[in-house]
Chain A
């Protein structure tokens, strides 16, 4: 990812690579086999109410390791925001919301440690990088990966959406030799 970002690759290519990296991380770490139970715990904890500052207990069915830590963060944050907004959601919505947050957190954990070097090397300004990371989190491949993760929470068989190939502009096709395409 770092080299891809350094190279100034097109956004679509970076989006695909990120979704692939996140899928890879979930698959290798064993995912969250009881993800729907955690999401239901979040939903119930949020329904207890509160002033938005208090986080109710969330059932401890998180896995060990990095994904477990990130899931815990995502769950606590979601409970707080749901309590504050007094949002009562269906089990399906809670699962989707938590999956969104978890995948976003995994992506940012992986990307953020590159930030100081990318800025120090002059590839990006802070504002450019923040805009790029925001776009990556909200990309279509990440949304598709969210749905796939919900179907494969243990990570087994989880694959990122197929990489997309961008059609080259017509004038580029016409003016470029076949060997160079």
Chain B
């Protein structure tokens, strides 16, 4: 197997887009930094070439995705779309291998980002290929498999539930020190069998000056899913295994839009089963071997995931972070907002789980109220789901109301999806009760404060 030094990357990526038609460049080591030092120190002095190229490819896509602003949304009146057209020339160590995989790359990225991507691959300058033998640190257990670990609730629960049964190596992408601290904290509190010293971290940063003419990054970051999967797959390839664990509850993975104005990848597809299938197809094309991205929580609600965590491990779950804004603040101890859809889904799940007390110590910056639009949007979706599931043919009704569910159907049995969404809708009252809110006639009437006496209960 050919191997290569990979960290830090010094690639220069050239790209063009409909927004910036002239050639633009991202210089790794100057404009952006991809540091896999953590994995090199832990696993191997060198990575397989295909793994090294995979890391450079994913980091390049992520960097371009961040610096090319999407068209400004101007409503549906003019049929405007948020998609971009991007062409890029990427230096890789094995251009022929990557050129042959262009169709798989296009399918994955178009699905994940809604954008049109066109890639050319050129020989990386100074190949840097080494004939030295890579080595694995002998503290790692035989047969250990990588598991993506973000520091969020689902990936923490994945470790808590599955690490006691088999050796798993947490793999993380880190963009700031706050995120790294959260991940370390959760691992330390999980204790055995997860060793915090055995944690593969990939750090990626962009210099603020390259994130667009105004200095503002494109915030949608729909290629983050590719970056996470790529670091996990690169770690697996380095370990010599062909399976990556990716733990995300089924509601979050399928991620049906809350309102019908969310189109395509506007509802993120990072953990969608079609994303993982497209990644498997790309890895098969690149390596010639079958590769599996395994999500053991795919048919479960988030509340069921929380309930699956044992009493011994569940306290660590409260140190995980789900908030959309918490990591972005880059401030240690920054309180969760409490009202973003990620916070609300977590709170709903914990309230409906067998461990409803685990987040009692948390303080939120905002209180969810009857006027919280994110909560209303989630209830709007849940009420429509419930109506779909109460009819004679729930699957057809579900397809009719949520056409996006068809994307999941080839990978998750419709019966499983129906059961999962049914469980999800039944979980909501527990959360609303915990907030002191009520919806009379199960979403049929006004969301209101339970103490106002205007409902019949």
Which residues of A line the B interface, CB within 8 A? 21, 24-26, 28-30, 52-55, 64-67, 69-70, 73-74, 76-77, 80-81, 84, 105-106, 108-113, 115-117, 119-122, 125-127, 130
Contact = CB atoms under 8 A, between A and B. Distances in A.
B377 A66 contact: no
Given A77-B399, A80-B396, A126-B379, 6 more contacts: A28-B78, A76-B406, A84-B396, A109-B76, A110-B76, A113-B261
**Interface majority SS on B: helix, strand, loop or mixed?**
loop
Given A81-B399, A110-B76, A126 B373 contact: no
Interface in B439-457: 439, 441, 443-447
Given A108-B260, A127-B444, A130-B383, A119 B376 contact: yes
Contacts of B76: 25, 66, 106, 109-110
A98 to B, nearest CB: 13
Given A53-B414, A80-B406, A126 B79 contact: no
Q: Most chain-A Cβ atoms within 10 A of its Cβ — which of B76, B374, B376, B383?
A: B76
A76 B79 contact: no
What 6 pairs between A and B have smallest CB-CB spacing? A29-B79, A113-B261, A116-B373, A112-B260, A112-B259, A73-B403
B390 interface: no
B77 A109 contact: no
A81 B396 CA distance: 6
16 contacts: A24-B77, A52-B396, A66-B81, A81-B396, A81-B400, A106-B76, A110-B261, A116-B376, A119-B380, A120-B372, A126-B376, A126-B383, A126-B445, A127-B441, A127-B443, A130-B383
A133 to B, nearest CB: 9
Q: Most chain-A Cβ atoms within 10 A of its Cβ — which of B259, B260, B410, B446?
A: B260
B311 interface: no
**Interface majority SS on A: helix, strand, loop or mixed?**
helix
Interface string B227-270: 00000000000000000000000000000000111011000000
A109 B260 contact: yes
Contacts of A116: 259, 373-374, 376-377, 380
Contacts of B370: 120
Nearest to B372: A120
Contacts of B81: 64-66, 69
Nearest to B379: A126
Contacts of B393: 84
A77 B409 CA distance: 12
A95 B82 CA distance: 28
Contacts, number: 115
Interface in B353-373: 370-373
A127 B403 contact: no
A108 B409 CA distance: 23
Contact of B263 (A29, A66, A122): A66
Nearest to B264: A69
A65 B79 contact: yes
A109 B263 contact: yes
Nearest to B400: A77
Contact of A66 (B80, B260, B410): B80
B404 interface: yes
Contacts of B446: 119, 122, 125-126
**Size bracket of the B interface:** 35 or more
B378 to A, nearest CB: 9
A111 B259 CA distance: 9
Nearest to A55: B406
Interface string B391-406: 0010110011001101
B419 to A, nearest CB: 15
Contacts of A26: 79
B377 A115 contact: yes
A180 B441 CA distance: 42
B180 interface: no
Contacts of B396: 52, 80-81, 84
Contact of A25 (B79, B263, B443): B79
B83 interface: yes
Contacts of B410: 54
A110 B377 CA distance: 15
Contact of B371 (A76, A120, A127): A120
Contacts of B399: 77, 80-81
A29 B78 contact: yes
Nearest to A65: B81
B406 A115 contact: no
Contacts of A108: 260
B443 A126 contact: yes
A119 B259 contact: no
A126 B447 contact: yes
Nearest to A127: B444
Contacts of B371: 120-121
B80 A65 contact: yes
Nearest to A120: B371
A113 B76 CA distance: 11
A78 to B, nearest CB: 10
Nearest to A129: B380
